[in-house]
Structure 1
């Protein structure tokens, strides 16, 4: 058993991040994707919760959902996160937080999805002084927790994500429950924000779009932002821009608008001062999420057996090689191992407890996650500069 674990530790497959142009997802788009997706959902009833729905490897990008969440934080061209901690005024910092929140939005590809993380799976990566740790703290329902700290910039991130996908006949809508928190410790400011929904349209025109309202607020400064992700008008579902964003920054108490926000999250988003009429670039997607570097293993011995790149190594490599039989076999192996562990815990009447987070449910039936450690240590996987 020890030998097998050591061999597993030596196998880690890391793949390019989901970026603005082409890249991994585009390279692995399945052929005849619309026909395949239609056949996939043929026996699924409208309104069904797809949380337990198992995708064949042909529909997977070779990475875990934990890695996708992490990439939104550590894979970035222009460092919008550090800008948040360097703003001279609360308004400057708030605008930077809005830009950073938008930068975590990454392209979704119709017909492809990441692996569902197994219980206890982790993902640990460092970029410079920013250390990021994720853990799958619940499997049914799926809940992912993220903790990131940067001692140089004196900031902290705490996320709790609980995606709930549902099938509606001609579309799938995934609501991302849970809050994201960004703490700028030097200024005593705590920012809370939501996530947009992922809408996958099957008919009349296949697409995968981020939609819905996102609220960003800082009680310490009294500032708030409302963003709306939407698809612009099109002809019978064809054409139009599916990556539009519109919103505003305002005072929470007076509701007086300070800035208006408008643009496309995959292009340029502008910030307009409603008092002076001045317009400047708030966010440039080409600088932020194109030509992104792929993480590398710096310390092979330091990899945990729970690391996403280790857990899914065999399946990811098979998908990269387009060896679908081996991918199926690898995926079944992961699932059978999890079923065995679950059965053993049940027979021993043991309750599984996360290693790095505490988990609780609020009165509103939402999940909350809190890190057990004050800071995240440097990781064995790094993002090269």
Structure 2
């Protein structure tokens, strides 16, 4: 068996970090000329219904970052004076904490740029970032199928997050639908509460109006408090009209009585409110302001160059990232092919020796209880250590 480290180059490279995806980042910041036409040409030989898990994109269609970084940014990159994670922990009652968790879950939804996708992480790739006392660690624990594990802890506030994510993108002729499988857990250790939730799916449409939307249903459940939230994410209408772009609606339910306590309404990139249905005045309270939280996000910085692992996303893809930023597509393509070819050779070597890959920071298991295999990840360490890369601390 082998673990993280063998698949990475021993030559020390500098990390290249790019701005996080935010609502004030426009498509023009990354998109190349005639991108829509190029997207159509990219899929002209792909059959409808095809699984795109193994589909390799040319660098022209890549964001200058790995999907591990995009995944991690949804946790450690947030602005504004309202520290939502502290609000989850500081709520005086279970319903106060639950509504804060609903707001926090919504805050992990981030904009997507049409026609561009992050790099597919290589096996054993990691991403390790700290934001204040919150330490976040991600590892690519499987390549086929692609499975990402996340462990985030805040020892000071006694908060822990354990996520596993397996994205399954499929092509449907005029659209791509990416279903995100996996369980997300947020544990408030001081209160003995565990919140379990899922993720909306990503729908990318090519016609009649090119766009990318988060859609579908999300549930958030806390067995200890007996509370449940049912949320529905909606994008624009088929023709691109309507005012429901990036909307989220739903309700918070007391499971013992099946009674609705609050109704949730708003837009995940703007304002989300809850309405007390038991109050005769139908009082509305703002629980999340996406415009404030997802604007002017700061780019993480390397504080300890020597502490960077060779498996760090910003190191593994540094040459590709810099080439994309420079719009040197030939060099980006060459650097990306070199990484992919090295990974194929390492996979052949493991197979010839009869070795199987063992993640370094997570235990990986799978269940066949449903129609498709579901992968679950559990961290090997209790607390995530402080990272060499830091994001702006919570204000």
Which bin holds the TM-score, normalised by the shorter protein?
A: over 0.9
Distance, in Å, in 2 between the alignment partners of 1:58 and 1:233 is: 28
Distance, in Å, in 2 between the alignment partners of 1:37 and 1:239 is: 25
What does 1:285-300 align with in structure 2 at a 5 Å threshold?
Answer: 285-300=290-305
- Pairing partner for 1:321 from 316, 322, 326: 326
Report if the CA contact (8 A) 1:138-1:144 is conserved: yes
Mapped pair 1:182 → 2:186: yes
User: Shift of residue 207 of structure 1?
Assistant: 0.5
Distance, in Å, in 1 between the alignment partners of 2:28 and 2:347 is: 36
Distance, in Å, in 1 between the alignment partners of 2:163 and 2:353 is: 32
Secondary structure of the 1:211 match is strand
1:302-357 Cα shifts (integer Å, max 9, x gaps): 10000000000000000000000000001001101101111111111111100000
TM-align CA RMSD: 1.5
Distance, in Å, in 2 between the alignment partners of 1:330 and 1:250 is: 51
Distance, in Å, in 1 between the alignment partners of 2:392 and 2:273 is: 30
Equivalent in the alignment of 1:281: 286
Distance, in Å, in 1 between the alignment partners of 2:315 and 2:19 is: 16
1:25-76 Cα shifts (integer Å, max 9, x gaps): 5411122122111111100000000000111101111000000010000001
Unaligned segments of structure 1, at least 5 residues:
none
- Pairing partner for 2:336 from 320, 331, 355: 331
Report if the CA contact (8 A) 1:30-1:111 is conserved: no
Equivalent in the alignment of 1:151: 155
User: Shift of residue 124 of structure 1?
Assistant: 0.3
User: Shift of residue 215 of structure 1?
Assistant: 0.4
- Bigger mean CA deviation after superposition, 241-250 or 139-148: 241-250
TM-score, with normalisation over the residues of structure 1?
0.96
User: Shift of residue 282 of structure 1?
Assistant: 1.2
Mapped pair 1:366 → 2:374: yes
Secondary structure of the 2:104 match is helix
Q: Structure 1 residues 208, 232: closer, same or farther in 2, change over 3 A? A: closer
Equivalent in the alignment of 1:383: 391
User: Shift of residue 240 of structure 1?
Assistant: 4.1
Equivalent in the alignment of 1:57: 59
Distance, in Å, in 1 between the alignment partners of 2:309 and 2:321 is: 17
Equivalent in the alignment of 1:265: 268
Distance, in Å, in 2 between the alignment partners of 1:232 and 1:139 is: 33
User: Shift of residue 297 of structure 1?
Assistant: 0.5
Unaligned segments of structure 2, at least 5 residues:
1-5
Distance, in Å, in 2 between the alignment partners of 1:209 and 1:129 is: 32
1:143-163 Cα shifts (integer Å, max 9, x gaps): 000000001111000000000
- Bigger mean CA deviation after superposition, 78-87 or 135-144: 78-87
- Pairing partner for 2:146 from 134, 142, 146: 142
Distance, in Å, in 2 between the alignment partners of 1:185 and 1:282 is: 22
- Pairing partner for 1:355 from 357, 360, 369: 360
User: Shift of residue 231 of structure 1?
Assistant: 2.6
Secondary structure of the 1:290 match is coil
- Which ranges of 4 or more aligned residues in structure 1 deviate by more than 2 Å? 4-8, 231-234, 236-242
Distance, in Å, in 2 between the alignment partners of 1:291 and 1:21 is: 7
Report if the CA contact (8 A) 1:99-1:282 is conserved: yes
Aligned length: 380
Report if the CA contact (8 A) 1:205-1:238 is conserved: no
1:101-148 Cα shifts (integer Å, max 9, x gaps): 000000011111100000000000001110000000000000000000
- Pairing partner for 2:315 from 310, 327, 338: 310
Distance, in Å, in 1 between the alignment partners of 2:235 and 2:129 is: 34
Report if the CA contact (8 A) 1:244-1:263 is conserved: yes
Distance, in Å, in 2 between the alignment partners of 1:148 and 1:294 is: 19
User: Shift of residue 370 of structure 1?
Assistant: 0.3
Mapped pair 1:210 → 2:214: yes
TM-score, with normalisation over the residues of structure 2?
0.94
Mapped pair 1:222 → 2:226: yes
Equivalent in the alignment of 1:192: 196
Q: Structure 1 residues 238, 42: closer, same or farther in 2, change over 3 A? A: farther
Equivalent in the alignment of 1:48: 50
